A = this chain, B = another copy of it.
Amino acid sequence: MTEEMPVILNDKYLADFVRKDELDGIAPCIMAAAEILEKKSGQGNDFLGWLDLPTIYPKTEEYARIKETALKIQKQCDVLIVIGIGGSYLGARAALEFLKTPQYNELKKETPNIYFVGNNISADHLTNIFSLCEGKEVCVNVISKSGTTTEPAIAFRIFKEYMENRYGKEEAVKRIYCTTDKAKGTLKSLADDLGYETFVVPDDVGGRFSVLTAVGLLPLAVAGVDLDALMNGALKAYEDAKESDLQKNHCYRYAAYRNILYRKGKTVEVSCSYEPCFAMMCEWIKQLYGESEGKDGKGIYPTSAIFSTDLHSLGQYIQDGSRILFETVYHIQKTHSDVVIQHIADNFDGLNFLAGKHLQEVNDNAFMGTMLSHVEGGVPNMVLELPDVSEATLGYLIYFLEKACAISGYLLGVNPFDQPGVEGYKKNMFALLGKPGYEDLAETLTKKLS
């Protein structure tokens, strides 16, 4: 097993923006936030199950069963359809693309293709995925705490019918896996009635904190991800993040700096990386922080970029537009592959000064050059150093960011674990679609629309 390497926060390039005594100034608040988190006495404290997952979960029967079931699914099918939205979608997809590249489906050899549905209401998307299932053996993993969230519920209704028509009811049951509430809800009832194998979305773990439960782990295991390495990475972060000296606690320091920058008017965070495999991780980060902090008229707006690609689109703005941004760079120190630039005799492109250099070295210099340039342009930059693209690093990073997010939320004075603002569109949508019980709202909305 790989040694779990820590994620390090490099704050050297913040020096022009945040003085050391500002960090000292916020330290008591950070420690207060940490205390209510650890003592589980703060707001949203019935959703703190994620905090101890790395120590508890790998010892459970379910964890072992995930690994067994993944092997079974690998044998059963060529395509695994993962139905879920929000936290029941982003974590697994982000981890998959980080560990196995965004071209996983085109490049992988032994393991099934993995397609994500039920995270939108697009007929074209669903139709495309059905085309990709043609002639392939299919299994389904439907992930929904309640079973009633509209997007995955619609997708599951359609895929359940597809599976039953294609395989017959009995065989379909053997190919459908549910990750849902342990005891109640629409999906759990159905699973019990029909005999689907089930895994649990814990009561005390919110969607955006659930990637290290069956929610994320089952699809990842099917893709061949080493769950033990992932969980060990998270365990290392769990231990490191208990450090009470703020200077040594990179997780708390990240939370502290974010809050200091926000109070200085930096209202937008650009999470960025120089590797395309990090793009979906950025989406996961955006949910984690956006949903946890964006409430009560407050919060840093989470955005993302992949460089150097987006230096040629957003780069101009970051360098020289409104000074409302700060950047958090996820710097991957070692990628899977290595490409060396060759010397060529005619030097037609004038690039021989790069001959013998590894692409990683060029990329690293783009990163450092960009950071110095953006800092000079007035954009605070923090760097989270990731040693590699391994399971251990990812597990560490996930836990690190979850805990930093919780601290950030408490520091901001919000409940980091609720998301009341997500209900608005759902209610309106139900009313407009004529769901029984929403008649009054429907009338109000129809007037507004007419």
Contacts and interface: CB of A to CB of B under 8 A. Distances in A.
Contact of A320 (B123, B283, B295, B359): B295
Interface of A: 85-87, 89-90, 101, 103, 105-107, 119-128, 131-132, 147-148, 150-151, 153-154, 156-158, 161, 186-187, 189-190, 193, 207-208, 267-268, 274-277, 283, 286-287, 290-291, 293-303, 306-325, 335-339, 341-342, 344, 348-351, 353-354, 357-360, 362-363, 365-366, 368-370, 372-374, 376-377, 389, 419-422, 424-436, 445, 448-449
Contacts of A317: 290-291, 293-295, 299, 301-302, 421
A153 B89 CA distance: 37
Contact of A294 (B85, B322, B338): B322
Contacts of A208: 313
B157 A424 contact: no
A154 to B, nearest CB: 6
B291 A366 contact: no
19 contacts: A120-B309, A120-B363, A121-B308, A122-B274, A122-B276, A122-B277, A147-B349, A157-B349, A158-B341, A286-B310, A296-B320, A297-B323, A302-B317, A315-B421, A319-B425, A321-B421, A368-B428, A369-B425, A372-B445
Contacts of A131: 107
Q: Top 4 closest A-B pairs, CB basis?
A: A294-B317, A294-B321, A86-B312, A369-B428
A148 B290 contact: no
Contact of A449 (B157, B300, B368): B368
Nearest to A84: B312
Given A120-B276, A297-B320, 5 more contacts: A123-B338, A124-B277, A267-B267, A286-B310, A316-B421
A78 to B, nearest CB: 13
B294 A316 contact: yes
Contact of A301 (B322, B349, B368): B322
Interface centre among A186, A336, A369 (most CB of B within 10 A): A369
Provide the main secondary structure of the chain A interface.
Answer: helix
Contacts of A122: 274-277, 335, 359, 363
A158 to B, nearest CB: 7
Given A338-B123, A354-B433, A433-B354, A321 B301 contact: yes
A157 B341 contact: yes
Contacts of A276: 120, 122, 124-125
B372 A428 contact: yes
Contacts of A302: 314, 317
B312 A298 contact: no
Contacts of A325: 301
Contacts of A132: 103, 106-107
B148 A425 contact: no
Contacts of A283: 313
A214 B97 CA distance: 32
Contacts of A353: 433-436
Given A313-B287, A373-B428, A429-B370, A123 B161 contact: no
A174 B156 CA distance: 49
Contacts of A119: 308-309, 312
Contact of A128 (B101, B126, B193): B101
A338 to B, nearest CB: 6
A68 to B, nearest CB: 27
A107 B106 CA distance: 12
Contacts of A103: 128, 132
